[in-house]
Amino acid sequence: MSVLSSLSVDEKLDLIAKLPNSIRNTYTKEQDIETEDPFACYEGDWGGNMSAEEYADDLRKSRTFTRTIDT
**pLDDT per residue of the chain (71 residues) written in tens, 0 to 9:** 578 888 899 999 999 988 888 887 776 666 655 566 667 767 666 667 778 788 889 888 888 888 888 87
Amino acid found at 44: G
Which candidate, 11, 9, 30, places its Cα nearest to that of 22? 30
Residue-level pLDDT at 44: 64
Kindly state the helix (H) or strand (E) to which residue 32 belongs, with its residue range.
helix 9-36
For the chain, which residues make up each domain, given as ranges? 8-62
Q: Rounded to whole angstroms, how far apart are CA atoms 8 and 28?
A: 31
37 within 8 A of 45, measured Cβ to Cβ: no
pLDDT of residue 66: 82
Cβ-proximal residues to 12 (8 Å cutoff; 6+ apart), any chain: 4
